[in-house]
Structure 1
């Protein structure tokens, strides 16, 4: 299937990461305070013993693992769609897929605004997978090295999350494992600034993200991406720079 514009996926990750603050902020902050090496005091250590310089390797290792899991999920979603390439070539099916992807953005925008919680049922469905992944967290052990943080982030990336699932719908539209992984990489990189900030200065950032005005503003912008995409899918948006803001086939694809 045609390529997907990656800029909207990056922006959806960036704006949607206000949800990450509520869902993952506590664990990211706690993990960043883990001892730098085995044999140091038990996790978590007092905040006063942790510096920004010492916590950043843990934060980046965790996020590298998390984004890696997103890319694998994107590759699986895109590859699964690609296995039905004959069907994916049908124009009506392609159009329906892009309508679905943009409707998911509309749903995500409303979800971020706490105006509609419809994506919660997707998270409920993902709990079946999480039940199999969660026990592996205990096998990793205390996250006292960057390697363990990498493994923890990779496993945590499979936590049921409506925001991630909405991005996976777009990854599926690519019909390619490589392109699907690229979509989820763009999305994951969008979430990176907020989650790095959460790891480095968790309490202050979580307080900022808890403000309703921040969540509503982020939700409105994500909602706008979805509406633009729907208008474009309906043929009501001429080819222009606005095209780059829509989840539609990439220009020239």
Structure 2
């Protein structure tokens, strides 16, 4: 079950990569401007994305720990959180399939925190070394994103900080290919990521998995 969740988190990240380009694509393009001229941009891009994925992993560990403590104090919360994860996954499948876009409203939840964090990122540009791109990416990892928030509900229901961290780490890895492709402007590959059939296949797969999750969670209430 855990392996399926990790693979699904990876799949969500891959499917949501196009969304990530919309949210972070401007940042990826800006990396070229703040990267020293006549240098290989790959170390800077990888360092930025490592920082971003580290923030996802940290958020997953925190929510996983909170979920574990909550379920320990009130055992009934475990199945309730599992149901919440299934519902959020349905919303995410609808979002990726462009059937219903209500998930966008969730992104507004983190805007107040983001207003305080974003100015900090300016301290690290222009980059003097690839290491400077890491904290820059770590800050941008907290950019309000419905995809991230919905996946965090899995971490919340995972039952431990470790599992929560692994789920968000796999999600972050899933977003990496599209953002790397975007940073190098490989248009034909980007078109493959954006292809409606690709999105629909992944959305339907996630929807089926969400129904399975809800079916499993329902047994705890019977």
TM over 0.5: yes
Structure 1 residues 167-210: Cα deviation after superposition (integer angstroms, max 9, x where no partner): 11111113422222122112111222222222222555555545
Q: What is residue 111 of structure 2 aligned with on the other side?
A: 127
Structure 1 residue ranges (4+ consecutive) displaced by more than 6 angstroms after TM superposition: none
| 1:100 corresponds to 2:71 | no
Displacement, 1:70?
0.5
Q: What is residue 249 of structure 1 aligned with on the other side?
A: none
Task: State how far apart, in whole Å, the 2-side matches of 1:58 and 1:181 are.
Answer: 24
Q: What is residue 21 of structure 1 aligned with on the other side?
A: 21
CA-atom RMSD in angstroms: 2.5
Q: What is residue 61 of structure 2 aligned with on the other side?
A: 75
Displacement, 1:145?
2.8
Q: Give the TM-score normalised by the residue count of structure 1.
A: 0.76
Flag the 1:209–1:176 CA change in 2: closer, same or farther, 3 A: same
Displacement, 1:220?
2.7
Q: What is residue 86 of structure 1 aligned with on the other side?
A: 72
Q: What is residue 161 of structure 1 aligned with on the other side?
A: 145
Is this contact kept in 2: 1:110–1:117, CA < 8 A? yes
Displacement, 1:226?
1.6
Q: Give the TM-score normalised by the residue count of structure 2.
A: 0.85
User: Which structure 2 residues correspond to residues 114-193 of structure 1 after superposition, within 5 A?
Assistant: 114-143=98-127, 145-193=129-177
Flag the 1:60–1:30 CA change in 2: closer, same or farther, 3 A: same
Q: What is residue 43 of structure 1 aligned with on the other side?
A: none
Task: State how far apart, in whole Å, the 2-side matches of 1:6 and 1:218 are.
Answer: 15
Task: State how far apart, in whole Å, the 2-side matches of 1:144 and 1:208 are.
Answer: 34
Q: Identify the match of residue 215 of structure 2 among 227, 231, 239.
A: 231
Task: State how far apart, in whole Å, the 1-side matches of 2:55 and 2:123 are.
Answer: 18
Instruction: Name stretches of at least 5 consecutive residues in structure 1 with no aligned partner.
Output: 41-48, 236-253
Displacement, 1:128?
1.1
Task: State how far apart, in whole Å, the 1-side matches of 2:88 and 2:127 are.
Answer: 34
Flag the 1:79–1:224 CA change in 2: closer, same or farther, 3 A: same
Structure 1 residues 110-136: Cα deviation after superposition (integer angstroms, max 9, x where no partner): 112222122122101110110111111
Is this contact kept in 1: 2:15–2:193, CA < 8 A? no
